[in-house]
């Protein structure tokens, strides 16, 4: 067939040996339609998943707590309770398997009541801590207080301060070393000490001095000391009421109020004996 031969009408392709154009694959339009439909389907799915995730992230949508299924459900299965607020939309992913605590029985009679957190047990007191309190009845006028590690020295008021001095036969020295033990001004189970001229022994600046009662609560606390039993037997130490953990001890033969130390030197310096008078 000549290239210059006129083309017959397309409605009669069998005439003159002409055939239709086969360069286009059959069904192209259907493939385009199928692709567009698939793309629309994927877009709709992505949109639906996004909407569901946004709804599950709202503050009002809280994760449902695991509860036991009814008695008709298979054992060991866990359902998720619907939140009290909002509609009945289920939380996405509720059917997945996750580690969860063993569900308790849903029966009201066996429901466990919430317990308050148990209080941590306190450690037992160590044998080396401050001695235990064992007060004696405060009733002994005319006493003297002697140091355990310096048995020849006694408490004595000199120049307003309380010191450890040797007491001779001089009547003035013996009077300065004699006190009256009375009921504690701030605590009736503790002690206060008075001098022969009516002053009280109190700590001031953590130093033991003799001072007049000014009627203040601070004075009453500064002049009150609680006995604590030491070893050996028959000795004691005096702890401040308003400074717990500080005990009267002598240092450079002057009575002071120092923090407790677990040492032999501290125990010796803070141990005293109450006697009827200087030897």
- Let me know: does 247 contact 270? Beta carbons within 8 Å: yes
pLDDT computed for residue 30 by the predictor = 77
Task: Find the helix or strand (DSSP H, E) in which 56 lies.
Answer: helix 28-56
User: Among 217, 201, 200, 175, which Cα is nearest to 257's?
Assistant: 201
CB atoms within 10 A of CB 94: 12
This model's pTM is above 0.85: no
Q: How far is CA 74 from CA 70, 71, 107, in A?
A: 9, 8, 17
Look up residue 265 and give its two tokens: 């030197």
pLDDT computed for residue 275 by the predictor = 93
Tens place of pLDDT per residue across the chain (279 aa): 455 555 555 555 555 555 555 555 556 677 888 888 888 888 888 888 887 777 665 544 444 444 444 444 444 444 444 444 444 444 444 454 444 444 444 444 444 444 555 555 565 555 445 555 544 444 456 999 999 999 999 999 999 999 999 998 899 999 999 999 999 999 999 999 999 999 999 999 999 999 999 999 999 999 999 999 876 678 999 999 999 999 999 999 999 999 999 999 999 999 999 999 887
Look up residue 230 and give its two tokens: 């030491």
CB atoms within 10 A of CB 175: 13
Q: Which fold has domain 140-275?
A: Trefoil (Acidic Fibroblast Growth Factor, subunit A) (2.80.10)
Give exposure, 192-229, as e/b (b: 16+ Cβ within 10 Å): bbbbeeebbbbbeeeebbbbeeeeeeebbbbbbbbbbe
């Amino acid at each position: 067939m000549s290239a210059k031969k006129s083309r017959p009408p397309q409605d009669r392709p069998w005439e003159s040996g002409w055939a239709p154009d086969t360069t286009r694959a059959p069904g192209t339009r259907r493939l385009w339609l199928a692709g567009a439909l698939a793309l629309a389907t994927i877009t709709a799915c992505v949109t639906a998943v996004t909407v569901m995730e946004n709804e599950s992230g709202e503050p009002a949508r809280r994760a449902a707590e695991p509860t036991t299924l009814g008695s008709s459900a298979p054992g060991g299965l866990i359902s998720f309770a619907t939140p009290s607020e909002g509609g009945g939309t289920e939380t996405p992913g509720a059917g997945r398997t996750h580690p969860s605590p063993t569900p308790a029985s849903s029966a009201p009679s066996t429901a466990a009541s919430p317990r308050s957190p148990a209080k941590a047990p306190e450690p037992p007191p160590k044998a080396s801590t401050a001695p235990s309190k064992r007060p004696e009845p405060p009733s002994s006028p005319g006493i003297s207080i002697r140091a355990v590690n310096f048995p020849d020295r006694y408490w004595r008021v000199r120049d307003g301060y309380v010191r450890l001095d040797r007491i001779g036969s001089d009547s003035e020295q013996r009077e300065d070393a004699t006190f009256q033990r009375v009921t504690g001004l701030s605590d009736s189970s503790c002690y206060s000490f008075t001098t022969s001229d009516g002053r009280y022994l109190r700590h001031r600046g953590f130093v033991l001095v003799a001072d007049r009662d000014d009627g203040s609560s601070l004075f009453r606390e500064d002049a009150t000391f609680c006995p604590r039993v030491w070893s050996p037997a028959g000795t004691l130490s005096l702890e401040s009421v308003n400074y717990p953990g500080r005990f009267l001890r002598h240092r450079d033969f002057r009575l002071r109020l120092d923090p407790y130390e677990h040492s032999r030197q501290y125990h010796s310096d803070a141990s005293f004996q109450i006697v009827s008078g200087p030897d």
